[in-house]
Amino acid sequence: MTLVEIRKPDFDVEIEIVYATPDNFTGAPVYARPGCYLHEKAASALAEAIRLAGILDLRFRVFDALRPTEAQWALWHHTPDPEFLADPNRGSPHSRGVAVDLTLIDTAGNDLDMGTGFDAFTPLSHHGNPGVDAGAQRNRHLLMGIMTTAGWDFYRNEWWHYQLFNSRDYDLVQDADLPEPMMPPGAANGPAGSSGGTQT
């Protein structure tokens, strides 16, 4: 597998990897460093999305991209909610390097209103929820239009999540597969108490 690091100047995006900070739903950093990688096919699709957004004087803020399998287990141990997290026994598109969490920003660097924040585990995060006002709905549709035109599939429960079609055709990525580790030493890659659980 060829991984591409998403960084400037190759990719004109703002990188804000929330799982490398305590500002995420677990309340603590999950990553030891804020790496941002994608499979080469996903990186190409992101480049096309960046081009399309630029035509509208918009850019992206990336919250998460490749998520090592160890990180998916850490998130699942904290909140095993299949409505918003992929069961790590099956593997997440993030852990295959073919998913990205992101939002649109304007020329001043302000996030467009999407009705909820990133990783809001609530039905208000679902696409088409009538409880979200019209302005935020338009912004979600704009994000979806750009991303799907660039070749991404969407996930109906999370306005911020996009993945390549046939995401399960790609191999899972562990922290040891990365050019530089993202996870803290000793991060478990399996059920609690296991140092090597298998994933399918």
* Catalytic sites, residue numbers: 158
Query: Residue 142: which residues within 8 A CB-CB, separation 6 or more?
Result: 56, 58, 104, 112
CA dihedral 89→93→95→97, nearest 10 degrees, is 160
> In this structure, are strands 13-15 and 59-64 parallel, antiparallel, or unpaired?
parallel
**Closest by CA position to 95, among listed 122, 74, 118:** 74
Is the N-terminal amide bond of 9 cis, ω within 30° of 0?
yes
**Closest by CA position to 92, among listed 59, 54, 65:** 65
Cβ count near 81 (within 10 Å)? 12
